[in-house]
Amino acid sequence: MKTITPHNESNSGWLTAHRLLVTYLKEKKRIDFLVEQLPDDFPAMERKRCHYFLFGVVRNLLLLEEALRRKLKRKPKPALQALMLLGSFELWVSEKPVAVIVHHAVEQAKKIVSLAEVSLVNAVLRRIPEVFERMQKVTERDLEALSFRYSHPLWLVKRWEKEFGWDDLVSLLQWNQQPAKVYGRMLGGAESNAFEEVDYFKKTEWPFFYEVTGSSWGSVKSLVEEGQIYLQNPATRLAVELLEAQPGEMILDLCAAPGGKSLQLAERVDSQMGSGSVVSVDLPGRRINRMRENFDRYAKRPLSVLEADVLQLNQKDFLEAGVSVMYDAVMIDVPCSNTGVFQHRVDAKWRLSSSDISSLVELQAKMLERAAEFVKPGGRLLYSTCSIEKEENNCVIEEFVEGNKGLFSLEKGKIYFPWETKHDGAGAFLLHKAS
């Protein structure tokens, strides 16, 4: 993909968001891939503005599209549609006067579309607030209205209402629609006051995790590059804490990229004796390359990378890499529906279908069986997801334990719901292998 060059006028984040949104509407590419194409010298404030509008529109896409559909005779072409979506999003979230927001959208439209389309932008956006006012009124059990109001696929809203009930469903939808916070984990494994006087870090209730605040992205990036912090959600600690890795242990981390959990594990197994280590496995490609870059910043940690398909992983792969074949503990963070992380993976809900979950469950079961082959007698097996679906969590574990009766037993585990934990949702289950 070519690097996306920002608009020349003040490197406008709004116009760049428009260009990226047009690409998204045409090609449905993941938006995190799109924003990675922004030039390194793209001004920080404009980058932030671009992210705000792009992620905001995609997070609220169903709501915005439905509001526009009620005021348009036909679906507009992508460039015009993106303009109207951006203007509608600002009308939805901003406290600025309607006239100010519409005027700004019209002025931007003059640079992009025809005069006739500019007039259409003006006419439609002025009428959108009245549509939003009606769409905000949702009566209990009206799942279609709830789907539009909180911009989630109707099939998923129906699924969650059946699984969680109305109140928890609303709590989940409200959580998903909030802009995601950014967190950094202080590396080193010991509490410190080093970041507590920095104005762009806010201490959290979770040890070692700080909320990144303000606009000092340059300073934060420097700390990342220096290996002092690692940007990750506090939910990543759940599986690591449940595994309780000990100094000197050999840990295998499967589906490990981009490596955040591996780094936490490495801090736990590292010892003065030098016997503990973590072997991190993932498929060839962009994610494992990123993991290598992350690990390069922490060269003192006992980390090894093995490039392989988990389903094809065998003894030969380990021997050729010069690492152990059997492990005290194996962690596998399986591919999943991502339903616990929709707050910051805002486009994931638009890519997911109900049939995808069934296909994922089949894959997850196979991967868990393969992971179990590398656990030493008496060792531990940790299964984790970033899903809040029972089908991908409890059901996979129950079927695995039943199929391996007498060999593996479930010690503990649960699904962590984001509206309760106040961070990403996840599933984590600890299994013990018989001696």
Residues 355-413 pLDDT 10s: 999 999 999 999 999 999 999 999 999 999 999 999 999 999 999 999 999 999 999 99
Q: What is the pLDDT of residue 215?
A: 66
DSSP state of 240: H
Checking DSSP bridges between strand 408-416 and strand 426-433, what pairing results, if any?
antiparallel
In 3D space, the residue among 241, 267, 252 whose CA is nearest the CA of residue 371 turns out to be: 252
The domain limits of the chain are 9-176, 182-231, 236-433
Q: What is the pLDDT of residue 191?
A: 53
Long-range contact list for 292-295, CB < 8 A, 24+ apart?
A: 294/230, 294/258, 294/259, 294/260, 294/263, 295/259, 295/262, 295/263
pLDDT interval class at 5 (50, 70, 90): very low
Q: What is the pLDDT of residue 324?
A: 95
> What CATH class is the domain 9-176?
mainly alpha
Burial class (CB in 10 A: 0-12, 13-18, 19+), 245: buried
Q: What is the pLDDT of residue 2?
A: 38
Q: Are 18 and 83 in contact (CB under 8 A)?
A: yes
pLDDT interval class at 53 (50, 70, 90): very high
The CATH fold of domain 236-433: Rossmann fold (3.40.50)
Residue 394's identity, in one-letter code, is N
Q: Which residues of 61-84 are buried (b: 16+ CB within 10 A; e: fewer)?
A: bbbbbebbeebeeeebebbbbbbb
pTM (2 decimals)? 0.92
Lowest mean pLDDT, pick from 110-124, 154-168, 179-193, 205-219: 179-193
All residues at 6 or more sequence positions from 234 whose CB lies less than 8 Å from its CB, including other chains: 183, 185, 204, 206, 209, 423, 424
pLDDT above 70 for 1: no
Residues 317-347 pLDDT 10s: 999 999 999 999 999 999 999 999 999 999 9
pLDDT interval class at 4 (50, 70, 90): very low
What residue has token string 């010298």?
41
Residues 113-154 pLDDT 10s: 999 999 999 999 999 999 999 999 999 889 999 999 999 999
Residues in the chain: 435
Q: Which residues of 182-213 are buried (b: 16+ CB within 10 A; e: fewer)?
A: ebbbbbeeeeeeebeeeebbeeeebebbbebe
Q: Treating both helix axes as pointing N-terminal to C-terminal, what angle do 98-109 and 13-27 enclose, rounded to 10 degrees?
A: 70
Q: Which two tokens stand for residue 277?
A: 């280590």
Q: Are 371 and 419 in contact (CB under 8 A)?
A: no
For residue 97, is the peptide bond before it cis, meaning its omega torsion is within 30 degrees of 0? no
Residues 177-205 pLDDT 10s: 999 999 999 987 555 566 766 778 899 99
Domains 9-176 and 236-433 share a fold: no
